[in-house]
Structure 1
Amino acid sequence: KAAYWGERPKSLCHHADDNADSSLPIVYTAMHGVGAPYTARSFQAFKLKPFFSVAEQNDPDPSFPTVAYPNPEEGKGALELSFSKASSVKSPLVLANDPDADRLAVAELQEGGKWKIFSGNEIGMLLAHWLYRKAVEKGKSPSKLAIVASTVSSKMTRALALKEGMRFEETLTGFKWICNKKFDLQQEGYEVILAFEESIGFCCGDLVNDKDGVCAAAVFAEMSVQLYKAGMTVSKHLDFLYESYGHFISRQGYVLVPNPKLTVEIFDKIRNDRHYPTSVGPYKISQVS
Structure 2
Amino acid sequence: MNEYVSKWLSRDPDPATRKELQTLIDSNNEKELTSRFTGRLEFGTAGLRGVVGAGSNRMNRLVIQETATGLGRYLLDQIESTSTKGVIIGYDGRPDSRQFAHDTAGVLTALGIKVYLTEKVAATPLVAFGINHLQTAAGVVVTASHNPPQYNGFKVYWSNGAQIIPPHDSGIAKEIDMAAEAELNLKDLNQAEQEGLLVWLGKDYYETYRKIIGQSPLLNNHTKPDDIALAYTAMHGVGAEMAEDLLCDNGFNQVFSVAAQREPDGTFPTVNFPNPEEPGAMDMVMAEAKAHNAVLACANDPDADRFAVAVRKPDNSYQMLTGDQVGALFGDYLLRLAGAENKLVGCTIVSSSLLGKIASSMGAECFQTLTGFKWLTNVAMSMETSERQFLFAYEEALGYTIGSQVWDKDGLSALVAFAQLTAELNSQGKTVWDQLETLYRKHGLHLNAQRSIALDPAAPPIGDTLRSAQPEMIAGQKVMIIEDFKSSRRKHADGREEVIQLPVSDVLIYHLESGNRVVVRPSGTEPKLKCYYEVVEPFDADDAMEQVQQRADAHMHHLIEAHQASLV
Both proteins in one fold, TM over 0.5: yes
Q: Which one of 461, 464, 474 corresponds to residue 271 of structure 1?
A: 464
The residue number in structure 2 matching 1:283 is 477
The answer to whether the 8 A contact 1:95-1:105 is kept is yes
- Residues 17 and 224 (structure 1), Cα distance of their counterparts in 2 relative to 1, 3 Å cut: closer
Give the stretch that moved more between structures: 97-106 or 36-45: 36-45
Q: Give the letter for the 1:215 counterpart.
A: S
Distance in 2 of aligned mates of 1:202 and 1:103: 7
Deviation at 1:285, TM superposition (A): 4.1
Distance in 2 of aligned mates of 1:180 and 1:209: 8
Distance in 1 of aligned mates of 2:429 and 2:260: 32
Q: Which one of 226, 230, 238 corresponds to residue 26 of structure 1?
A: 230
The answer to whether the 8 A contact 2:233-2:285 is kept is yes
Describe the SS at the equivalent of 1:208: coil
Q: Which one of 49, 54, 64 corresponds to residue 258 of structure 2?
A: 54
Describe the SS at the equivalent of 1:72: coil
Describe the SS at the equivalent of 1:96: strand
- Cα displacement string for residues 57-79 of structure 1 (whole angstroms, at most 9, x for unaligned residues): 1111111111111000114x111
Q: Higher relative CO (CA 8 A, sep ≥ 6), structure 1 or 2?
A: 1
Deviation at 1:167, TM superposition (A): 1.0
Aligned residue pairs total 276
1:5 partnered with 2:203: no
- Cα displacement string for residues 152-177 of structure 1 (whole angstroms, at most 9, x for unaligned residues): 11111100111111111111111111
Q: Which one of 211, 215, 226 corresponds to residue 409 of structure 2?
A: 211
- Residues 54 and 285 (structure 1), Cα distance of their counterparts in 2 relative to 1, 3 Å cut: farther
- Residues 143 and 24 (structure 1), Cα distance of their counterparts in 2 relative to 1, 3 Å cut: closer
- Cα displacement string for residues 147-201 of structure 1 (whole angstroms, at most 9, x for unaligned residues): 0111111111100111111111111111111101111122464211111111000
Structure 1 runs not aligned, ≥5 long:
137-141
- Residues 17 and 281 (structure 1), Cα distance of their counterparts in 2 relative to 1, 3 Å cut: closer
Deviation at 1:264, TM superposition (A): 5.8
The residue number in structure 2 matching 1:15 is 221
Q: Which one of 94, 97, 121 corresponds to residue 300 of structure 2?
A: 97
Distance in 2 of aligned mates of 1:264 and 1:45: 56
Distance in 2 of aligned mates of 1:123 and 1:186: 23
The answer to whether the 8 A contact 2:347-2:394 is kept is yes
Distance in 2 of aligned mates of 1:15 and 1:148: 22
Matches within 5 A, 1:78-117: 78-117=281-320
Q: Which one of 166, 187, 192 corresponds to residue 364 of structure 2?
A: 166
- Residues 17 and 222 (structure 1), Cα distance of their counterparts in 2 relative to 1, 3 Å cut: closer
Distance in 1 of aligned mates of 2:478 and 2:265: 48
1:67 partnered with 2:264: no
The answer to whether the 8 A contact 2:359-2:365 is kept is yes
The residue number in structure 1 matching 2:426 is 228
Matches within 5 A, 1:240-279: 240-254=438-452, 262-263=456-457, 265=459, 268-274=461-467, 275=469, 278-279=472-473
Describe the SS at the equivalent of 2:450: coil
The residue number in structure 2 matching 1:139 is none
- Residues 49 and 254 (structure 1), Cα distance of their counterparts in 2 relative to 1, 3 Å cut: farther
The answer to whether the 8 A contact 1:94-1:106 is kept is yes
Describe the SS at the equivalent of 1:284: strand
Distance in 1 of aligned mates of 2:370 and 2:249: 33
Q: What is the TM-score normalised by the length of structure 2?
A: 0.46
The answer to whether the 8 A contact 2:243-2:412 is kept is yes
Q: Give the letter for the 1:157 counterpart.
A: L
The residue number in structure 2 matching 1:178 is 376
Distance in 1 of aligned mates of 2:428 and 2:381: 36
Structure 2 runs not aligned, ≥5 long:
1-204, 483-508, 510-518, 520-568
The answer to whether the 8 A contact 1:17-1:47 is kept is no
Once superposed, what is the RMSD of the aligned Cα atoms? 2.1
Deviation at 1:278, TM superposition (A): 4.7
Q: What is the TM-score normalised by the length of structure 1?
A: 0.88
The answer to whether the 8 A contact 2:223-2:420 is kept is no
The answer to whether the 8 A contact 1:148-1:195 is kept is yes
Structure that is richer in strand per residue: 2
Q: Give the letter for the 1:15 counterpart.
A: N
Describe the SS at the equivalent of 1:123: helix
